[in-house]
Each structure stands twice: as C-alpha cells, then as structure tokens.
Amino acid sequence: MGRIPIISGDEAIRRFAVLGYRVVRQRGSHVRMRHVSDSNRKPLTIPTHTGTVLKPGLLRALIRQAGITVEQFSTIQ
C-alpha cells in the first residue's frame, strides 16, 4: 500500500479528470464527478472546502472507488 499524497479537493478533481472523470454537478462545496466512457464506475463526491486538504481516509476511499491504486494516483500530474 502506497503513501497517500497530501492534496486539496481541487487538485484531486484535476487528477481524476485526467483519468476520464468529468464534473457533472456541484452543490455547495461538494463536486460530483462521473466517468465519461465507463458508466459502471461509481460516481465520486469530492469536497472543495476553501484552503483545506483532503483527509487520508477520504482520499483513499475516492481512489478505491475510481478503481485504481494509490501508486497510480500518485503518478498523475
């Protein structure tokens, strides 16, 4: 198991967009993303509270829902 990067919600949204996820809606400070070509993948809900980083457990859960490993997520720029 790899080390979880320390990133904000906005950075997580950028990295998941590289994987093929797109923003479908936003309510308050929570952004909902869906995969463009694979509708069987779970949607991701990412908080974008101003100036805060995602907690490691939440980020690990989002990575797991996306169906990738922490190492793969860490290499995305």
Q: CATH number of the domain at 28, please.
A: 3.30.920.30
Count of structural domains within the chain: 1
Q: Which ranges constitute the DSSP H helices of 1-77?
A: 9-18, 56-66, 70-75
pLDDT at 47: 94
Residue 1 lies in a domain: no
**If we measure between CA atoms, which residue out of 5, 1, 2 comes closest to residue 56?**
5
The list of the chain residues with pLDDT below 70 reads 1
Enclosing domain of residue 17: 9-75
pLDDT of residue 1: 63
| Whole-number pLDDT of residue 52 | 86
Please state the pTM of the whole predicted model: 0.91
All residues at 6 or more sequence positions from 53 whose CB lies less than 8 Å from its CB, including other chains: 6, 7, 8
Tell me if 2 is assigned to some domain.
no
**Three-class secondary structure of residue 25 per DSSP:** strand
